[in-house]
Amino acid sequence: MRLGVRAHDFGRLPADELAARIAAHGLESVQLAPNKAIAGPETDAGRLSPGLASGIRRAFDRHGIQIAVLGCYINLGDRDGPRRRPQLDRFKEYLRCAHDFGCTIVGTETGSLNGDFSRHPDNAGEEAFQIVLGSVRELVREAERFGVFVCIEAVERYVISSPRRLRRLIDEVNSPNLQVIYDPVNLLGPANHEQQDQILEEAHDLLGDRIRIVHAKDFTVSDGQFRELPAGQGRLNYGKVLRWIKARKPDIDILLENTDPATVAGTASFLRTAYRDA
């Protein structure tokens, strides 16, 4: 495995300083959301350029850090089409500049019928699925033009919430340019966490051929409240996850979440040991 982090968990800094801070922890890769992580020039829609992207890539290259995925997390399921449009346009801009960042993957979750991303009771319904399907088809067409990949991350409270629903999306879009970010904890919630082994096996069976990136965090449940934690501090069956990765995706980028410069060393040590022993 190649171990990395979300770059913005180390702060919003000039690219060279940010890359140096990450490299100092012995990490190899990042998920980069430029507008969250890079101080200086604006990188939002209409402002991104190949030159700016290449400069950021060179800064990370100097410190031996690979930009494994660009994070552009937008609400693909927003019922309000005019509000959804600029988000899709921003994602397309990242797809067009992905190669300049030295990267081929742009990732997002699918969001909610609610514009503020909050849980909606109809997120599991057909209307929500069709809105996301139309959005993803549009983005994948752009990805095909530029030889890059759209990576979708399923989240229990959002429109694409389970391995089965994500597999349906993959099958209906029917393009190799649609791939998967696998975050095991995001598939779980207050109502289904006790079935985690079954859900993890389903994810491996249904999505394994499309998984390009793995996110690593943990969870606990107390008084019915589902809470996310750094990897190794909760109840996720990491043995099951890491055995599958070791057998099927041994060199994949595993990106730590729910960590920061003060805690990353311990979290990274846990993952390396658990991977070795899996």
10 Å CB burial of residue 139 (0-12, 13-18, 19+) is buried
Mean of the per-residue pLDDT values for the chain?
96
Residue 181 is inside which H or E element, if any?
Answer: strand 178-182
- 62 vs 66: CA distance, rounded Å: 10
- The confidence score (pLDDT) of residue 44 equals 66
Residue 35 is inside which H or E element, if any?
Answer: helix 34-37
- Over residues 94-99, the mean pLDDT reads 97
Q: Hey, what CATH topology would domain 2-277 get?
A: TIM Barrel (3.20.20)
Residue 79, SS3 per DSSP: coil
Tell me the domain boundaries of the chain: 2-277
Question: 45 pLDDT band (50/70/90 cuts)?
Answer: low
- Over residues 248-277, the mean pLDDT reads 96
- The confidence score (pLDDT) of residue 242 equals 98
Residue 167: C-alpha distances to residues 30, 79, 107, 207, 272 (Å): 26, 22, 16, 7, 30
- The confidence score (pLDDT) of residue 46 equals 75
- 36 vs 250: CA distance, rounded Å: 29
Cα dihedral 245→171→157→204 (10° resolution):
-20
Question: 224 pLDDT band (50/70/90 cuts)?
Answer: confident
- Check: CB of residue 27 under 8 Å from CB of residue 4: yes
Residue 43: C-alpha distances to residues 33, 50, 250 (Å): 9, 11, 33
Residue 88 is inside which H or E element, if any?
Answer: helix 81-97
Q: What is the pLDDT of residues 105-152, one digit of tens each?
A: 999 999 999 999 999 999 999 999 999 999 999 999 999 999 999 999
- 66 vs 60: CA distance, rounded Å: 7
- Over residues 214-226, the mean pLDDT reads 96
Sequence letter at residue 185: V
Strands 218-222, 225-229: pairing is antiparallel
- Check: CB of residue 269 under 8 Å from CB of residue 259: no
Task: Annotate 128-154 with DSSP letters as a single string.
Answer: HHHHHHHHHHHHHHHHHHHT-EEEEE-
